[in-house]
Amino acid sequence: MFCTKCGTQNDDNAFKCIKCGNVLQQVAAQKAVEVPNYLAQAILVTIFCCLPFGIPAIVFAAQVNGKIAAGDYNGAVETSKKAKMWSWVSFWVGLGFGLIYIFFIALGAMFGR
What does the binding site for another protein look like in residue numbers (CB under 8 A)?
2, 4, 7, 28-29, 32-37, 39-40, 43-44, 46-52, 54-55, 58-59, 61-63, 65-66, 68-69, 71, 73-74, 77, 80, 93-94, 97-98, 101-102, 105
Dihedral angle over CA of 52, 45, 29, 74, nearest 10: 60
| Closer to another protein by Cβ: residue 21 or 34 | 34
Q: How far is residue 102's CA from residue 113's CA, in Å, rounded to a whole number?
A: 15
Closest approach of Cβ 29 to another protein, in Å? 5
Q: Which is nearer to another protein, 47 or 110 (CB)?
A: 47
Q: Shortest Cβ distance from residue 87 to another protein (Å)?
A: 12
Minimum CB separation from another protein for residue 20, in Å? 15
Burial of 40 from C-beta contacts in 10 A (0-12 / 13-18 / 19+): exposed
* Residue 89 CB, nearest approach to another protein (Å): 13
Q: How far is CA 109 from the centre of its chain?
A: 40
16 three-state secondary structure: strand
CA–CA dist 68, 47 (Å, integer): 26
